[in-house]
Structure 1
């Protein structure tokens, strides 16, 4: 007797054997393993991509914040240079004699501090309240302590130089005289 199964061929001309079903299942298993491996790689690549996108967003946010801080710092530096000019203009305005006050020149001169104050206001610069407030070393610089009346201990009794803030940041603390009981 001869084995006829070895001589049979399928439609493609390949010999049909008893081993074909085992080979096909092995091929399917290999392909399923390959698909699983590729799905794992896809998940890793997706995770890496999501991390890269998050890192990019963080870097962009951080650089935008640093740029804004740099601009604020630059304007703060310029404002700090202008504050002595503001102080001098205030002293000059407070020491005007009645003759100068009545002149046309002085009415034009008064516009300069007003324009300067407009610029400071546009940059968020405000004076620090001092006289009558409790002494706060975050906002006030005590240069003189003097005996004060009852209830004036620890309070600012006089302002020697105005302090300024830019939004929530102290540009220059107010130089003050503090009362002691």
Structure 2
């Protein structure tokens, strides 16, 4: 900004930041003057919309809370009654075992036949509930997802192959309940 050498006053026609002359009359003339009644009506409309949005927000929040509560109830019921089907499948197996123990006079053949029948019932219960055994044969490839190696031993099988099954494993719906315990072939 240019000023006179002997004063800090601006030159003629020059505006400073604080002078009211900066607001040009043309700009003020372009802005229409609003009627206070129109402004009040617009304010009332805006307040009504805000009230509607707030009501919608509260309803959405309550709905989300209801959904969360229902989901929690469903999870609790699933935990509580999730084994109901499996338990129903096992009741006949127990009944058969108790009936076998109640028989005092039976031959070995009769006893064996009863045990085999009971085992078939148990296998059907496992099958109905997607419970499958994991029993790798000697020479099968070791799978760390369903097998657990207890030790490695020298063998004619290639390194890492199953040499011996020590205990069967089980999966339920592809999820491992218990891995099969195995011995694997060591490096030659």
2:145 pairs with 1:135: no
Equivalent of residue 115 in structure 2, options 97, 104, 109: 109
Higher helix share: 1
2:62 pairs with 1:52: yes
Equivalent of residue 35 in structure 1, options 42, 45, 52: 45
State how far apart, in whole Å, the 2-side matches of 1:175 and 1:65 are. 33
Aligned residues: 135
Cα 1:70–1:135, aligned 2, differ >3 Å: closer, same or farther?
farther
State how far apart, in whole Å, the 1-side matches of 2:149 and 2:177 are. 16
SS at match of 2:56: helix
Does the 8 Å contact 2:133/2:168 carry over to 1?
yes
Q: For residues 132-171 of structure 1, what are the structure 2 equivalents within 5 Å?
A: 132-151=139-158, 153-171=159-177
Cα 1:150–1:121, aligned 2, differ >3 Å: closer, same or farther?
closer
Deviation at 1:147, TM superposition (A): 0.8
Cα 1:51–1:121, aligned 2, differ >3 Å: closer, same or farther?
same
State how far apart, in whole Å, the 2-side matches of 1:70 and 1:134 are. 38
Deviation at 1:168, TM superposition (A): 2.2
Deviation at 1:66, TM superposition (A): 4.8
Cα 1:71–1:147, aligned 2, differ >3 Å: closer, same or farther?
farther
Q: 5+ residue gaps in structure 2? A: 1-34, 91-106
Deviation at 1:48, TM superposition (A): 3.0
Higher mean Cα deviation, 29-38 or 54-63?
Answer: 54-63
State how far apart, in whole Å, the 2-side matches of 1:166 and 1:157 are. 25
Cα 1:150–1:135, aligned 2, differ >3 Å: closer, same or farther?
closer
Aligned to 2:96: none
User: Which structure would you say has the larger RCO, counting Cα contacts within 8 Å and 6 or more residues apart?
Assistant: 1
Deviation at 1:105, TM superposition (A): 3.7
Q: 5+ residue gaps in structure 1? A: 1-24, 83-98
- Normalised by the size of structure 1, how large is the TM-score? 0.60
